[in-house]
Every structure is written in structure tokens, then in C-alpha cells.
Amino acid sequence: MTELIEDAELIKRAAEGDNDSFGVLYERYVRRIYNYIYYRTGNMNEAEDLTARVFHRSFRHIQKYDDRGVPFSAWLYRIAHNLVANWYRDRSRKKEVILEENIPSKFHYDFPEKALEKNQENERLLKALRRLPAERQQLIILKFVEGMSNAEIGIIMRRSEGAIKSLYHRTLEAVRKEVEKIDHQELPKK
């Protein structure tokens, strides 16, 4: 709640032309938006480019931000969501996105074989995730990368907590099916 009040004050000042207030908002949310875009695109360069666009757009239109109980972060996620959708549409990369960088491992001293195996498992899971519809990807990222509760996700995705819970279970089932499909596709190669 405190964060909401502080955000509101910062937004008001930023809308009046105080760039430093916008800088504080930026510092508060940039990493979350970057992570969201990174997991949606699977590419660090694109994540940087699109994150910059999100903040440039929000900077230009901060006067239009209308706080109706919806947090500032939800507005930023909405902009990010639209930009990622445009990115997929423009580049027709929806079906296959190559991971340029591997997701960093928790264990920095893995043996090469183990690290390779781990990366392959990561890729398999991320590949399955990226085959899901955009809103399901968003749900998984907000839940696991951002560690948000169903209620918080509901505010961002403009749905009730119950609807998010139900969507979450359907999403897990969809991930399971996609993982199985990938396993079946890769089986003849082995």
C-alpha cells in the first residue's frame, strides 16, 4: 500500500515534468519489466531494446496514466505485453525463438556434461512455455520469475483471483502436454 501511495506521488510529479521522479519509478520497475520481456522473447538484445521502448513510451504518456486502483506496474506490464505482441507479429518468430543466451545456472561449478544437460532441460521447458498463448506465458512468468501471488497477477491481468487460479491449473496442464510433444518430436532423433 505504501508503495502504491509513493507511486501515485511520483507519477503526479513526473506528469508535471519532474524527470527525477520518473527516474525513481524507472529504478523501481525496470528489472521486473526486463525479466518479463526477456522470458517472453528469449533474447537479451531484444529484451534491452523492448525494455527501453516500454520506458520511453511510459515517459511520453505518463500524463495519460489514470490510476483507478490499478498499480503503475500493471500499466507498464500492459505496455510491455503489447510491445512483445507487436515484436512477434512484425518478425514472425512466434513459433521458434532461439535462445541466444542460456538461462544462468544456480550452480556455477557444474561439470560441463551436467551443465549441458541442464541447459538442454532449460531449453526444452522454455520451448514448451513459448508455445503457449501469450496470456499463459505471462501468468507463468509473473508467478515464477516475479514470485507474485494469484491476487497480484489478477490485478495485472485484469482478472479475478479465482480466474487466475483456474487459468494456472490449465496452464500447467498445457505445459505438460507441450513438454510431452517435444519429447515425442525429439525421440526419433535419439
Partner 1 sequence: MNKILIGEKLNTQTFSMNLESELSQRLRPIQPRSEFIHQLQSNLTNAKRIHVEERNYGLALVSISVGLFFGALSLWFLRRFI
Site for partner 1 in 89-108 (CB under 8 A): 103-104, 106
Tell me which stretch binds partner 1 (CB under 8 A): 80-88, 150-158, 169-177, 182-190. Answer: 169-177
Tell me which stretch binds partner 1 (CB under 8 A): 33-41, 73-81, 85-93, 148-156. Answer: 33-41
- 176, with CB counted inside 10 A (0-12, 13-18, 19+), is exposed
| C-alpha–C-alpha distance, residues 27 and 58, integer Å | 14
| C-alpha–C-alpha distance, residues 93 and 187, integer Å | 24
CB of 155 to partner 1, least distance (A): 20
| C-alpha–C-alpha distance, residues 164 and 155, integer Å | 10
Judged by CB under 8 A, which of 59, 65, 74, 99 binds partner 1?
A: 59
Q: Does 17 bind partner 1 (CB under 8 A)?
A: yes
CB of 138 to partner 1, least distance (A): 13
